[in-house]
Amino acid sequence: MRDVAIIGVGMIPFGRRDQDTLLDMLAYSSMKALDDAGLGDKGVDAVYVGNMGAGILQHQSSVASALVDRLALLPAAAEAVENGPASGGSAVKNGVLAVASGYYDVVLVAGGEKMREVTGWRATDFVATMTHPEVEYPYGITLPGMAGMFTRLYMQKYGVTPEMLVEVAIKNQEMGALNPYAHVEMMITKEGIFESPHSIVNNPPAADPLRLYDACPVSDGAAALVLCPLDMAAHLTKNVPILVAGFGQATDTHTLAERDDPTDLKAVTLAAQQAFERARLKPEDIHVAELHDAFTILEIAESEHVGFFKKGEGGKAVLKGKTRLGGKIPINVSGGLKARGHPVGATGVAQVVDIVWQLRHALPEERQVKGAQNGLTVNFGGFGNNVVCFILKRVEQ
């Protein structure tokens, strides 16, 4: 197996992009990544596209075939990867495997989703199609509903408090306000969403005990990256190559009810363990992480399941500022899904792109984790039933 490097990255601002089609967004982000890699006349051998909902939301299939044609990359191999909200992470994983195997040298991976084309209800219903079609979906369960129940259990078992969730929301929106790619660029205050009696309207219940500001927005957006063998990187690009030091992927039961302990996100633990083993690193070696905070509780739970904190300590760490920029392990410096947004198929790719920017030391001071060498991502599909984790490493030239 060959070592694989990320040599180009690109993203478009997430948000509501009425003016763009899904294909427009995939193409813009891909062109940015290709331009960033500076491949010149070197061709792209294969294209992987992470997307969850084009078939449902846009009544469109074969988006990868459409993208290679749009980008004039014919006759590159192309395929779309659908793996729920982990579609982006899965697309990156497939690209990494394709290069590592020696079959392809240059691979473009893009992830995108256009969710604001439909009303919020329909977008919530679309995301709920990942639930079990016989024992969950017909009974009206949605992802916010699942997250609400999970939060209640996590609070009971590990002592997570509403105040801890509020701190995650405030931290991530503060960081999002500094990120030009973020969907939500608005800071919020504890007074406005928690302490003031007026917060009942500002931050209404969404899925008890979760409230409006505990959830990520429904977004449009796309991100892309270019992969090649590490030993070719120096010949292809001037960028600092970022090594895909390890990845892991694991699954869990489709239904939450079948898990021995619904608060135990086994797939997160296993995916992270695999990634750490392959990278020969430990959680304490990670300098920056992008976790899948579709709901604030998930940032806390994932920070424990990947090994940054012991169970029950993640929420306390948030209150102590350990997950802020400058803290022990800065988490979601991009704003995370909470503020950058969550166009489901794009998210896993965008997380990797943000870590690449961190490891290149290319971000403005107010968003840069100083001297970051290793970064981690968790892309959380289903309600933890399919998780993809990456560990990236800066390669000094």
Partner 1 sequence: MTVDIELELKLRPPEFPQAPYPPKVITLANGKKMVVREVTRADVPQLLKSVHPTLFIERDYYNVVGARVYAELIAWQYYRVQNEYVIVGQVDGLVVGIVNGRMYSPKVGMSLHTLAIDRGLRIGAHLFAAKMEHHIEYLNQDEVLIVAESPIGFRRWMIEYGLIPTNIPHELGGAPSYKLTRELYFKSKPRLVVGDRPVPQELMDVATRELAVADAQAIREKIAGLKGR
Q: Which residues bind partner 1 (CB under 8 A)?
A: 12-13, 15-16, 18, 28, 119-120, 180, 184, 186-189, 191-193, 196-204, 213
Considering the complex, what minimum distance in angstroms separates the CB of residue 98 from partner 1? 29
Q: Which is nearer to partner 1, 193 or 288 (CB)?
A: 193
Q: Which is nearer to partner 1, 192 or 327 (CB)?
A: 192
Burial of 396 per CB tally in 10 Å (0-12, 13-18, 19+): exposed
Q: Which is nearer to partner 1, 94 or 142 (CB)?
A: 142
Q: Which is nearer to partner 1, 180 or 326 (CB)?
A: 180
Considering the complex, what minimum distance in angstroms separates the CB of residue 129 from partner 1? 21
Considering the complex, what minimum distance in angstroms separates the CB of residue 279 from partner 1? 34
Residue 64 and residue 79 in contact, taking contact as beta carbons nearer than 8 Å: yes
Considering the complex, what minimum distance in angstroms separates the CB of residue 71 from partner 1? 16
Considering the complex, what minimum distance in angstroms separates the CB of residue 123 from partner 1? 12
Residue 100 and residue 1 in contact, taking contact as beta carbons nearer than 8 Å: yes
Considering the complex, what minimum distance in angstroms separates the CB of residue 91 from partner 1? 22
d(CA 83, CA 52): 7
**CA nearest to 345, candidates 50, 24, 12:** 50
Order of strands, sheet of 288-290, starting from the edge strand that comes earlier in the sequence: 77-81, 46-50, 107-114, 220-229, 4-11, 242-251, 386-394, 374-381, 288-290
CB atoms within 10 A of CB 70: 15
Considering the complex, what minimum distance in angstroms separates the CB of residue 199 from partner 1? 8
In SS3 terms, 233-294 reads as HHHHCCCCCEEEEEEEEEECCCCHHHCCCCCCCHHHHHHHHHHHHHHCCCHHHCCEEECCCC
**CA nearest to 388, candidates 302, 304, 286, 327:** 302
Considering the complex, what minimum distance in angstroms separates the CB of residue 316 from partner 1? 25
Q: Which is nearer to partner 1, 12 or 108 (CB)?
A: 12
Burial of 31 per CB tally in 10 Å (0-12, 13-18, 19+): middle
Residue 10 and residue 208 in contact, taking contact as beta carbons nearer than 8 Å: no
Q: Which is nearer to partner 1, 291 or 337 (CB)?
A: 337
List C-alpha distances in Å: 247 to 90, 159, 342, 371, 396.
Answer: 10, 31, 21, 22, 20
d(CA 278, CA 244): 10
Considering the complex, what minimum distance in angstroms separates the CB of residue 213 from partner 1? 7
d(CA 199, CA 204): 7
Q: Which is nearer to partner 1, 174 or 285 (CB)?
A: 174
d(CA 196, CA 209): 17
Q: Which is nearer to partner 1, 13 or 162 (CB)?
A: 13
Q: Which is nearer to partner 1, 198 or 282 (CB)?
A: 198
Contacts of 365 (CB under 8 A, 6+ apart): none
